[in-house]
Structure 1
Amino acid sequence: MLFWDPTFIFLIPAIILAIWAQSLVQQRFYKYSRINSSFGFTGAELARRLLDNAGLFDVKVESIPGKLTDHYDPRTRVVRLSASTFNSHSIAALGVVAHEIGHAIQHKEGYVPLTIRNAFAPVASFGSGFSWIIFLMGLLFWSPVLMKFGIILFLLVVLFTLITLPVEFNASRKASVLLNNMGMPSKEIAAVNQVLNAAAMTYVASVAMALLQLLRMLFIAGLFGDRD
């Protein structure tokens, strides 16, 4: 069972979706990373301008290594921009930056889904790391209790991915509004939306993967949970 698991077939649709979504992100980011915005701002400059306009003077902007590793850290109140966006003038980079500022504004406004996601994050992280280990231990030792505990832990991961969807979609909508208010041409905003919509599909793929993993767990537990 552990070497050949036919329930892997459950994951095929999610795997295909994840590969397609990641490919779409790379394709669109690459396309619009070669086109500079008429703004003339770098990603870091735009981030600072948007934060100041929102009254978030205490939120810092930092550079981190990597590509598309951009994120807002609510614990330290820092917007971290990857090397591919920090000094870039491209439409793609500025769209990503505006999205992360959208998260900072969500934090300021007390956006409920973000608050819930932040509260869920530590538990979901534990569930992601240990749910399958506990579940497989239950399978190995014929313990329905351990299998059920593993399933409950993974259910928290599923809930985390679900609550992430409105957070990300809302941040992208805020990004479009922020850029429009700054005077970005509608043609460039349309390009930004293409990049951010592609990024949103990676979160949809994560939800699909989590749900199908949960279905797989339930199926396996149904097959083996009643054995003595």
Structure 2
Amino acid sequence: MSFLLYFIIIALIPLWAQMRVKSTFAKYSRVASSSYRRGAEVAREILNANGLYNVGVEEGRGFLSDHYDPRSKTVRLSPENYHGHSIAAAAVAAHECGHAIQDAKGYTFLRFRHALVPVANLGSNASWILIMIGILFHFSGMLLLGIIFMGAAVLFQLITLPVEFNASNRALDQIAALRLIGHGEEREAKKVLNAAALTYVAAAAVAVLELLRLVFIFTGMNRNDD
């Protein structure tokens, strides 16, 4: 029964975060910003103000698919944010520009996260194979190796948190300083960014819980072997 409750909890945490971000975005995507600039214009103005003329702004595909690509130095905004004049569009566009500013300034946590990408990808792909072999065949050494691999993926999730929160802080500073939204709209923009951050917090929380569960399985397996 306790295991069933555990799996219900870890399934509900990310679901709740996704519902929160979608409902918050839907609410503020219907509220036009006082500057009435499109998300693409907000992004371009922030980048230019920070001397990032080499960073492009492109329209991407998919709902809330917004991201900054450090390889091509491009801010890609989902169609609704690229063309939208809303507070939500301005906040999301500014957030992605926050990542571009981090990249340009060599923000420590962003550099660390980039360095972890190949390790995290390997950990995500290989960990569960090793973990299942270790559990099914009662091979604690294989389980431990899987836990170590998973630990690398979890570390990536945790490092993502300061990267995202810092990008949001930079975004709020930029849109306020450049007057891309009105003074009274800062609180609404912050709500959009906070809701988006919840998805990363939820993902990190679930990852940590899963890692702890496997550590308990490993210690229990070793205790039974003694």
> Structure 2 length as normaliser, TM-score?
0.93
Q: 1:117-167, CA deviations, whole angstroms, 9 ceiling, x for partnerless residues? A: 111112112211221111101222332221111000111111111111111
Q: 1:82-109, CA deviations, whole angstroms, 9 ceiling, x for partnerless residues? A: 1121111111011000000000001111
The SS at the match of 1:80 is: strand
Please, which of 171, 190, 193 is the counterpart of residue 190 of structure 2?
A: 193
Say if 2:61 and 2:79, in contact at 8 Å, map to a contact too.
Answer: yes
Correspondence for 1:212: 209
Q: 1:12 to 1:215 in 2, by over 3 A?
A: farther
Please, which of 150, 156, 169 is the counterpart of residue 154 of structure 1?
A: 150
Q: 1:60-90, CA deviations, whole angstroms, 9 ceiling, x for partnerless residues? A: 1111111111000112211111112111111
The SS at the match of 2:51 is: coil
Shift of 1:17: 2.5
CA distance in 1, matches of 2:10, 2:198: 11
Say if 1:72 and 1:79, in contact at 8 Å, map to a contact too.
Answer: yes
The SS at the match of 1:35 is: coil
**Gaps (5+ residues) in structure 1?**
none
CA distance in 1, matches of 2:157, 2:192: 20
Equivalent pairs: percent with the same residue?
Answer: 46
CA distance in 2, matches of 1:6, 1:122: 35
The SS at the match of 1:79 is: strand
Residue type matched to 1:162 in 2?
L
Residue type matched to 2:17 in 1?
A
The SS at the match of 1:142 is: coil
> Structure 1 length as normaliser, TM-score?
0.92
Correspondence for 2:218: 221
Q: Give RMSD over aligned pairs.
A: 1.8
CA distance in 1, matches of 2:141, 2:194: 41
Please, which of 23, 28, 31 is the counterpart of residue 27 of structure 1?
A: 23
CA distance in 1, matches of 2:14, 2:184: 28
CA distance in 1, matches of 2:199, 2:37: 27
The SS at the match of 1:216 is: helix
CA distance in 1, matches of 2:225, 2:131: 15
